[in-house]
Structure formats: structure tokens, C-alpha cells
Copies of this chain bind each other. A is one copy, B any other.
């Protein structure tokens, strides 16, 4: 089968934003050195089209060496150029083009923007998108194929709604919101400016609350909303339920990774960071600047105080005071956790002499 014609109109797919989809912008090694304020050794004319780790990079790729444990990879690396700390400047290694900086990782992060390809963005509403006639669509909005926008929805200027995404009736999106493909905004949800929902994120579902009655488990109606404040990012396939007797709120600037569950009535503060697969049960309060490690679980109605850190896989069954680091199951202050583990190890070594001692006592 030969290439298939795109039925979309020119206004949607015909225009691309600058830099879209046309490959990564090549730079020379000399450019790289200038960009990061580094010292160039070797051939500054080497052309670089991407980045990769030392053991996978080829002659068109930039790599980096920041830690001695990767020095052995450097020996045989085929990278076109390597950003590295001064301690490796004279190290044995195939790559002759070297850019010396004090902080190789920071330099790499600043370079990534040069090698990052942007997804091409069309303008306007694709003709296959279904937009309710009661919806209000701002200026400069992109709505990709097959997206569905419900009644009375308000979409702010500059938003980009991905393919097959859905926005339920009565929801409001601020400016420059990005819904990736296949994301779902349930009805009556509020998203601030620059909110990002990754693919498969589900926000605004009625939470999980049932009352046992004669007819079975009857759902508690949810009258609260799901509110995502400015600059919130929700990872792929993560869920934020709406509130029952109050709103569920995710504070401005908070970033949530993939496959995370946020229950109903939760209030999460500003600038929190929530790693993948975390679960926060209903009505919990997560204050500003909290960090939750991967797969951690926070029980219902608890409070995690401002700037506290909860370690990966921790199971939190009580309030966590502000600023503390907690870990383990059941979670407690991380230092106590370490002490308890050390105590257990010491005790294990005492078992045999203690049993002997007790026998001796009994005999005497």
C-alpha cells in the first residue's frame, strides 16, 4: 500500500511551527564549547546531531563523562565529542574532541534544548475533531484529529489538544494548556494556565466512595471539582479524582509522574514532586514543596507537612511533620528506620550466645 492521503485541511496540518519535525539541529564541537563556556580540545569542526551515552554514541553524537565509573566506557567510545570534567582531560580514550567544563551534567542539560526535536504543531481545529457549539475556543488553539470537546467547555488561548483526547462538558482550560493524545478531562474540571496532561491522564473522575445499602454499594455523589492550578503537570496514565464534599486541588507548579493516583478531596500544595506510581488516598493534605518517592502510599486524611520527603515505597499511616524525611513500612523518620535496621542486625548476631546464656541460667 502506498502512502495515504491526509484528509485534513491545510489550516490544520498544512502549517508547522518553526523547527517542527525536521530533525535535530546540528552543531559543531566549537559551538558546543562556546554554548557551555567550556575549553575545546581537538577538532572543533566535528558536526554533532544528537546525544548518547559513551557506549552507544557514534561519530555524529555528543557524549559526556562525569564520573570515574564510566571511564572504562570512554576508552572505546566512538562519540564525536565528549563533554567532560577536568580530571578526565588527559584520560586514555578514543574520542579526541573533548570539551572541558567543571560540571559536565549541568552542561549537558543546558545543551539538550539544542538537540531536542519538537513535535510538529498544526494550527486550528482539525475537521475530524468534534467541538460542541456551546464551547468557547480561544485564539491560537490547536485541536488535533478526533479530539472531542463537550458542551460549555472553555478553552483558553494557545491551548493544544492532542489526538483522541476528550474534554468533558463544563470544564475550563486556562491558557497554553497541553493535553497529549488520548488524555481525558472529565466534566466540570478546572485547569489553570500551562497545565500539561500526558497521554492517558484522567482528571476529574468521581472518587471512590460507596455507602453499603440494601441494594448493594451505592456511590456517594461528588459535588466537588478537580482543580489543577497553573503549571501543574500530570504524567501518563495518572489519575486525579474530583472531590465529594470539597474540591480536589493540585497546587501551582506541582509535577506528577506516570501512573500516580490522587484520591478525592486531596489537597496538594505548590511545587510538590510526586514520582511514578505514588498513591495518595482520599482527603489527605500534602503541603507545599513535598517530595514523594516512587510507589509511596499516603493514607487517607493524613497530612504531610511542607517540604517533607517521603522515600520510595514508604507506607505512610500517620502525619509527617514539615521538613522531615520518612521511609519504610510503616513509615517513620528515616534515621529511626536506619537505626531499627541496624539494631535488628546486631540482635541477629546475639541470638545464639543469648540462647546459650538462658540455657545456662536455667540449668544453674
Residues of A within 8 A of B (CB): 1-8, 13, 16, 20-21, 24, 50-53, 56, 64, 108-109, 112-113, 115-117, 119-120, 124-126, 128-141, 143-146, 148, 150-152, 162-164, 166, 168-170, 180-182, 184, 186-188, 198-200, 202, 205, 208, 210-211, 216-217, 219-224, 231, 233, 235-237, 239, 241, 244-247, 252-253, 255, 257-259, 261, 263, 265, 271, 273, 275-277, 279, 281, 294-295, 297, 299, 312-313, 315, 317, 328-330, 339-341, 343-344, 346-348, 350-351, 353-355, 357-358, 361
Contact = CB atoms under 8 A, between A and B. Distances in A.
A343 B347 CA distance: 8
Nearest to A216: B253
A35 to B, nearest CB: 14
B236 A205 contact: yes
Contacts of A4: 125, 129, 131, 133, 135, 137, 143
B246 A52 contact: yes
A317 B5 CA distance: 51
A112 B244 contact: yes
- Kindly report how many copies of this chain are found in the complex they form together: 3
Please list the 5 inter-chain residue pairs (A to B) with the smallest Cβ-Cβ separation, ordered nearest first. Answer: A115-B223, A116-B221, A148-B163, A202-B236, A112-B221
A109 B231 CA distance: 33
Given A53-B245, A205-B198, A277-B261, A3 B236 contact: no
13 contacts: A4-B137, A52-B246, A115-B221, A115-B223, A119-B150, A119-B169, A182-B182, A182-B184, A200-B237, A235-B239, A237-B239, A241-B258, A312-B317
| Majority DSSP secondary structure for residues of A touching B | loop
B259 A239 contact: yes
B199 A202 contact: yes
Highest count of chain B CB atoms <10 Å: which of A182, A210, A344: A182
Given A115-B223, A133-B5, A181-B166, A294 B276 contact: no
Contacts of A8: 130, 132
Contacts of A6: 130-133, 135
